[in-house]
Amino acid sequence: MKLDLDIEQFWKDEELTHAENCFSKSSPQVALGIRMSEECVFAELGEEGEPWGYTSPERRYDLNCRYNEKAIQIVGRPLLPENKPQPQDTITIPEFRPMAEIFGGKFFYDGHTTWLHGTMDGPEDLEKKLAEVSALIADPEAFRAWVLPKDWDEKCKAVYELTGRRPGPFTGIRGPVTMGTSVFGVETLLYLYYDDEGLFTHFADVMADVVLAYVDLFRKESHIEDPYHGFTFCDDDSNLMTPDMYRAFGYRVLKRVFEETAPLPHHNRYQHSDSAMGHLMPLLADFNLTGCNFGPTITVQEIRRLMPNTRIDGQMAPFTFMNNDQDAIIAEVKRDCEAAKENDLRGLNFTTAGSINNGSSLESMRTVMAAIQNYGRY
């Protein structure tokens, strides 16, 4: 099936759709959340490369420019940043130590993507590590020295003098369950709930302490007066826990972090879990999330029933989009648009229920646009 699309009118309407977190009653149609991703350039242009690996700045600039030329022809807009490499680009804010390393995590690049592996072996190791971590974050100077490289102040000063940029606030992490399973092991973490629930919840509490220590550190480093920048959790492994497990672990972390970073209704509270985690939605509903990106087995209706004020970024299956089956794409857009229009509920920002992967085509994005214009009018 091929649907008609008035591209110029689509983008005029699209400019109005994201007001009031996609809930605006003046919005003419369902919002489009798809803007593609840099990993999509390889398949679209027929180029070799590692979508999740390193691409030099010079080649990235060339790929993005050529991709955008094609995007203008197909969807009417450039989609990717075109950052031409400049000499001053070598002067950058240095990287700091990621939070997982404080729990003994080690990052490993396999030539295609980066994995996080743990070094702890059983509850005794965990108990010892948690004591070490608590002692470290109790000393702000020692914690700062652990997180930041030795040349941090010097390089940040140079970047600021050259560009006016400072480090940003700390606004998101790999989610607590995914962090826990990565550094301690999937089975060992889940069995810990039954073997030693006290240690299980203590792990979650120390994890929350560490998140808030990072938040506090980068509030100072960013020199931003407003302390509330919201927070985002990316927690695909959350689906591995029962509701009781999650309440004792992930929920505890989200509760403390959201209370500290996003206490008001309009502050960003976001959960990405593109897995079959519908059994946890009644718990997540407690946080009045401003946005969510859940797995494709969960429907718009299910989310809206429990989270009436949450923007839904979804719910098309990523593999439907990547397979470029135009009829299947139209069917999923129509399904979700009709759900968003039911009782004029709105709040849908139509995109994939998960990541947008290499192989997803610009023609498929155009099909989504046409389906929204045909089936997503409020």
Residues above pLDDT 70, as percent of the chain: 100
Q: What is the pLDDT of residue 87?
A: 76
Contact 90, 145 (CB under 8 A): no
- Does residue 259 lie within any of the structural domains? yes
Model confidence band, residue 109 (pLDDT cutoffs 50, 70, 90)? confident
Query: What is the predicted pLDDT for the residue at 294?
Result: 97
Query: Is 203 inside any structural domain?
Result: yes
Q: For residue 29, what is the DSSP state?
A: B
- Average of pLDDT values for 302-329? 97
Tell me whether residue 254 is in a domain: yes
pLDDT exceeds 80 at position 367: yes
Span 194-202, average pLDDT: 98
Q: 30 lies in a domain?
A: no
Alpha-helical regions (H) of the chain: 7-17, 41-45, 57-75, 123-137, 140-147, 152-163, 176-184, 186-195, 197-222, 243-248, 250-261, 281-284, 300-306, 318-323, 326-341, 362-375
The answer on pLDDT for 366 being more than 90 is yes
Query: How many residues comprise the chain?
Result: 378
Average pLDDT of the residues in 217-228 = 92
pLDDT of res. 216: 96
What's the structural domain count of the chain?
1
Q: Residue 77: helix, strand or coil by DSSP?
A: coil
In a domain, 191, yes or no: yes
Whether residue 225 is predicted with pLDDT greater than 90 in this model: the reply is: no
Say whether pLDDT at 88 is over 80.
Answer: no
Cα–Cα distance between 145 and 238 in angstroms, integer?
Answer: 32
Per the structure, the complete domain to which residue 251 belongs is given by: 97-147+172-267
Whether 291 and 311 have beta carbons less than 8 Å apart is answered as yes
Domain-embedded: residue 125: yes
Calpha distance 231→261 (Å, rounded): 7
Q: What is the average per-residue pLDDT within 63-88?
A: 95
Which is it for the CA torsion 10, 12, 13, 18, positive or negative? Answer: positive
Between CA 59 and CA 45 the distance in angstroms is: 13
Is 238 within 8 Å of 250 (Cβ atoms)? yes
Assigned domain for 248 exists? yes
Tell me how far apart the alpha carbons of residues 327 and 321 are, in angstroms, rounded to a whole number.
Answer: 11
Is residue 111 over pLDDT 80? no
CATH number at residue 200: 3.20.20.210
How much is the pLDDT for 86? 85
CA atoms within 13 A on the CB side of 26: 5
- Residue 46 binned pLDDT confidence (cut-offs 50, 70, 90): very high
Is position 371 within any domain? no
What secondary structure letter does DSSP report for 168?
Answer: P
> What is each CA distance from 335 to 125, 329, 376, in whole angstroms?
49, 10, 10
What pLDDT sits at residue 241? Answer: 98
- What is the band of 3 on the pLDDT scale with cuts at 50, 70, 90? very high
What pLDDT, on the 0 to 100 scale, is given for residue 89? 75
Residue 149 · residue 95 · CB < 8 Å: yes
Residue with tokens 């009118």: 9
Residue 325 CA to residue 59 CA, distance in Å, equals 30
